[in-house]
């Protein structure tokens, strides 16, 4: 038996009062995050979602993402992350190709998500996600807060290591994006290796989550690795240079994982000296080749060697990485 969601429940017992995720002043402890994930699982099961069913989610970097992600897994269903920048035809392809039976979408993307859901006949449940105090009923589908409130806590669904946990769509070189089926073992071991050998995360660490969680880099190397190791995730729904620097200084971030352009913008910010980066002990980069100049300047300014990796969606995603000290 191996279910990726098990490790969240396990850490909720080990570190119940530790902050698991935060977005500015909003915080959830491990105990709260695990509880909400169980309630999402219960609400899905009450709507007929069964082990192996596909459930799509179009959610930005907010605490909703891990709540829904681990809730889907807890129910034994398969997560289908959707790029939040997609238009309805692109979303519809994901829904129809995966056979998604339910779809969680953030209110900011309601129009495009609704059009896609309406055009996907197998998608029977559309859940609109918004601020915690929003109880208004959407024109189409259900309100997530009411959905969550009505969910009963359920035991974790038993899955095997080879059962599909996540379907990540990848464009490849030709045609429409194709879904790469990643097993619970794929996702667990990649996160475990990332946490243990690459970022070396542990309780007390604070990781900046500005990489999009619908993408494999942020999903595995930040969210899954961080929550697997008892760290705290501080979320940034989209990258804005000064906001990212403010969050790093304010929350005493210890781990940053970004793409090269993000490092470039930070290095070239005119008021970089205003922000204290002394808490950072680990910086990693992926998604594109890291220019030598960026690598050198970051080391000279902050005393930190950026570790660089290579991966792809099909490998969940880490395939190769420089390790600390190399």
- Walking along the chain (326 residues) 10 residues at a time, the average pLDDT comes out as 97 98 97 98 98 98 98 98 97 98 97 97 97 92 97 97 97 83 97 94 97 96 97 97 98 98 98 98 95 97 95 87 80
Residue 323: the pLDDT is 82
Q: Can you list the positions of beta strands (E) in 171-323?
A: 178-183, 206-209, 232-235, 255-258, 282-285, 307-311, 318-321
pLDDT for 210: 97
DSSP 193-225: HIIIIIS---TT-EEEE-S-TTSHHHIIIIIIH
**Domain 6-21+28-183 shares a fold with domain 185-321:** yes
Residue 104's closest CA among 60, 137, 136?
A: 60
153-173 in b/e form (b: 16+ CB < 10 A) is ebebbebeeebbbbbbbeeee
On whether the pTM is more than 0.95, the answer is: yes
DSSP state of 310: E
Residue 212: exposure state from Cβ atoms within 10 A (0-12, 13-18, ≥19) = buried
Cα–Cα distance, 317 to 271 (Å, whole number): 34
Pairing between strand 282-285 and 307-311?
parallel
Per-residue DSSP letter, 71: H
**pLDDT at residue number 312:** 86
User: Token match 């990796």: residue?
Assistant: 309
Q: Which CATH architecture has domain 185-321?
A: 3-Layer(aba) Sandwich (3.40)
- Parse the chain into domains and list their residue ranges: 6-21+28-183, 185-321
> Which pLDDT score is estimated for 176?
87
CATH of domain 6-21+28-183: 3.40.50.12780
H/E element, 138? none
Question: Are the beta carbons of 22 and 234 closer than 8 angstroms?
Answer: yes
């Amino acid at each position: 038996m191996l279910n990726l969601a098990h490790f969240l429940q396990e850490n909720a017992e080990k570190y119940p009062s530790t902050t698991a995720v935060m977005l500015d002043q909003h915080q959830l402890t491990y105990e709260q995050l695990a509880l909400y994930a169980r309630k999402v699982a219960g609400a899905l099961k009450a709507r007929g979602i069964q082990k192996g069913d596909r459930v799509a989610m179009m959610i930005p970097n907010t605490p909703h993402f891990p709540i829904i992600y681990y809730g889907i897994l807890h129910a034994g269903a398969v997560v289908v992350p959707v790029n939040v920048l997609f238009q309805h035809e692109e979303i519809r392809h994901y829904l129809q190709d995966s056979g998604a039976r339910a779809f969680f979408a953030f209110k900011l993307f309601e129009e495009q998500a609704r059009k896609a859901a309406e055009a996907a006949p197998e998608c029977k449940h559309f859940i609109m996600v918004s601020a915690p105090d929003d109880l208004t009923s959407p024109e189409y589908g259900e309100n997530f807060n009411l959905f969550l409130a009505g969910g009963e806590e359920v035991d974790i669904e038993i899955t095997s290591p080879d059962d599909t946990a996540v379907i990540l769509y990848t464009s490849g070189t030709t045609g429409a994006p194709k879904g790469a089926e990643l097993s619970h073992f794929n996702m667990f071991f990649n996160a475990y290796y990332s946490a243990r050998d690459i970022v070396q995360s542990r309780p007390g660490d604070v990781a900046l989550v500005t990489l999009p969680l619908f993408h494999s880099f942020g999903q595995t190397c930040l969210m899954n690795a961080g929550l697997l190791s008892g760290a705290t995730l501080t979320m940034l729904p989209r990258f804005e240079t000064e906001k990212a620097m403010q969050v790093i200084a304010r929350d005493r971030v210890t781990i940053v994982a970004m793409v090269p352009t993000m490092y470039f913008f930070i290095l070239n910010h005119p008021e970089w000296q205003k922000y204290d980066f002394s808490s950072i002990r680990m910086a990693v980069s992926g998604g594109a080749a890291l220019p030598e100049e960026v690598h050198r300047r970051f080391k000279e300014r902050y005393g930190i060697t950026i570790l660089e990796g290579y991966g792809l969606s099909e490998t969940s995603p880490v395939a190769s990485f420089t390790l600390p000290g190399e």
